[in-house]
Amino acid sequence: MDSRQQQCVTRPERSTAVQIARRFSTLLAAAAATLAILGTGTAHADTAALYNSAQDNFTSGDEAAGLADLRQLLAESPDDAQALALQAIWSDYTGDVITREMALNRLNGVDGRLADRTRSVFRAIGAAIGTLPNPIPAIAGPQTGIAVLGYGLLPDGSMRPELVSRLQAAWLQAIASPMSPILVTGGNPQNGITEAAAMQGWLVGHGIPADRILAEHRADSTVQNALFGAQMLRDAGATSAIVVTSPNHIRRAVADFIVAGIPVIGATTSLEQLVSQLPPPARSGQRGIYLDTIRTLRLPTER
């Protein structure tokens, strides 16, 4: 084959190779541009879904799964203050002091105020667990309010025996501390009557001056009793509270009022179930206190 024949063969081959190379370069450039627009394609965890799953697991009693959700969330978003607060609180419940302190330390750098409020949860839970049901009234002055928690009314708006028992304990407490303002808290109206209105009427009917009584008509839970009631007590000039409720309710109520920002200096209870409620609750029995304090801390249940 002479040189001209070789040129006839090699030139088309070279031309085809160049075209392929150019097309390949164009495809690479297009792919790079697409990745630049769409991102690298790395999958990111849905932090809202993980937070919601954690809260659902904690509510249903699966702390291990809830904490696993939080670990995954915090691996993706390590400065998520609400997740750090939850991790600290539920690590405390499970006895994992190291994780609790690590979460608190990180939270302190992210949101110092929430870190302080989270620490108040631990103090509140400790105080609540150590609270004993006690039918003997405490002695207090005008800076201490008496907080009486409501109980569901009958459909006609009349009071159930348990609420009457709470009011009897509150009456004794009011007599023992005649200068203390009295908060009655509870909404849940029946037949147009709120729990607070029913309690207020009973106390006035038993000789307590109406101007001593603060009536909070909106609360439909212990958490709201504490949040709404604490604000009313502060507005009335009270700097502490004596909580009055049933023996099987007193520990949750004490914890919630402390987290809501009102120091509790006394806890007066009715006589029902008094003996059975004297022993401190076991760990499993403390779950309700932990759940309540988290809600009183106003950490959202979902995002």
Model pLDDT, residue 45 = 78
Q: Which residues contact 255 (CB under 8 A, 6 or more apart)?
A: 124, 125, 127, 128, 289, 292, 293, 296
Q: Are the beta carbons of 215 and 245 closer than 8 angstroms? A: no
Model pLDDT, residue 276 = 87
Model pLDDT, residue 15 = 52
**267 DSSP 8-state letter:** E
Model pLDDT, residue 16 = 52
Query: Which stretches in the chain have pLDDT values below 70?
Result: 1-43
Model pLDDT, residue 28 = 46
Q: Cα(260)–Cα(117) distance, rounded to whole angstroms?
A: 10
Model pLDDT, residue 275 = 87
Model pLDDT, residue 23 = 55
Backbone phi, psi, residue 155, to 5°: -55, -30
Which helix (H) or strand (E) segment holds residue 87: the answer is: helix 81-94
Domains of the chain as residue ranges with CATH: 47-129 (1.25.40.10), 144-278 (3.40.50.620)
pTM of the model: 0.83
Strands 213-216 and 182-185: parallel
Quote the strand ranges of 109-232, DSSP E: 144-149, 182-185, 213-216
Model pLDDT, residue 25 = 53
